[in-house]
Amino acid sequence: MTVLVVGATGKVAGQLVSNLQNEDIPLRLLVRNGEKAKKAFGEETSKLRYVIGQLADEKVLEVAFSGVDVAFLGLGTSQEQEALERGLIDAVGRHATAHVVRLSVLASNAEATYEVARRHGALDAHLEKSGLSHTLLKPSYFMSNLLLAAASISSSSRWYGAIPTGLVAMIDTRDVGDAAAAVIRDPSLRGSSYDLTGPQAVSLPEAAEFISATVGRSVQYVSTDEDALRKGYAARGVPAWLADYALGIDRGMQAGDHAKVTQTVRTLTGKPPRTLQAFLAENKSAFAPV
């Protein structure tokens, strides 16, 4: 079995690659940044091949997909993501008879109220329409999103958003990578759509209490309006499209889109999902005062 991983230098796909490397499964990694990938996973071996290039380049895609048995699509967020992933799905169909495992998002829906869930819904539907055999992994809000607030927490012991009361069953990206490895390892798990969440749903003010307990000082989540948040993003140089995505995600979280807790991580991996408290303890230094 040869497994192609797209997005290997990312959080979820990186964890997947580490798992599969440990199990000696032949891997082909399609990345745009070869140096970054080799730093993470080492030089090429008979069990590890790199295909380095742009994801819209048909020659690159032909080399990457030819003869693979499983393709994991774990692209990060960008304005190009939808077009690139449509191209990747179409390229699988042209160059291989492969099972596709796609990283989507919990509550993805082509009619969703916010951009990221809508785009994933459209891509899930494109994959379904392609006729390729496939598995969808639909994780909740990543715990690692809290690290995006680390600079603000370090400097002011506060961070800002628009999720005053919505409950969010945050997941550790390593659990998503572990679930992906389980699906790739065991063909009997393939062909389904899996809602993946952490072990508990918390509000953002409760997450602030967990951070406070971890760092030993009072940290607050300050809920504010979208205009103020948009100005804050602009002041920090965040592009308008990304600010729009983030504000949409906050709306979805406040509406409870990621409030449900599932047992799917445990079912797939045989282990309970990592807790938010454990994640924060591991990342405590990121929130240290400056």
Pairing of strands 99-103, 158-161: unpaired
Spell out the residues 6+ positions from residue 45 whose beta carbon is closer than 8 angstroms to its own.
Answer: none
- What is the closest distance, in whole angstroms, from the C-beta atom of residue 146 to ligand NAP in the complex? 10
What is the per-residue binding string for ligand NAP in 45-64, x denoting contact by CB under 6 A? ----------x---------
Count of residues that interact with ligand NAP, criterion CB under 6 A = 27
Q: Considering the rule CB under 6 A, would residue 78 count as an interface residue with ligand NAP?
A: yes
Q: Please, what is the minimum distance in Å from the beta carbon of residue 119 to ligand NAP?
A: 8
Q: How far is CA 273 from the centre of its chain?
A: 15
Chain positions 147 to 206 lying near ligand NAP, rule: CB under 6 A, are: 173
Least separation in angstroms between residue 95's CB and ligand NAP is: 18
User: 84-97: buried (b, 16+ CB within 10 Å) or exposed (e) per residue?
Assistant: bbeebbebbeebbe
Among 103, 146, 181, 243, binds ligand NAP (CB under 6 A): 103
Candidates 11, 49, 126, 158: give the one binding ligand NAP (CB under 6 A). 11
Q: Which of 33, 45, 155, 267 binds ligand NAP (CB under 6 A)?
A: 33
Q: Which of 177, 125, 128, 150 is nearest to 20 (CA)?
A: 177
Query: Considering the complex, what minimum distance in angstroms separates the CB of residue 217 from ligand NAP?
Result: 26
Residue 167's SS3 state is coil
Judged by beta carbon, residue 77 or residue 157, the one nearer ligand NAP is: 77
Which residue shows structure tokens 């008879």?
A: 97
Of the pair 201, 288, the CB lying nearest ligand NAP is at 201
Phi, psi of 216 (to 5 degrees): 75, 25
Angle between the N-to-C axes of helices 240-254 and 115-130, in degrees from 0 to 180, rounded to the nearest 10: 90
Nearest to 100 by CA among 140, 72, 80: 72
By CB under 6 A, is residue 116 in contact with ligand NAP? yes
Angle at 31 between CA 26 and CA 36, to 5 degrees: 100
Q: Which residues bind ligand NAP (CB under 6 A)?
A: 7-13, 31-33, 36, 55, 74-78, 80, 84, 103, 105, 116, 139, 141-142, 145, 173
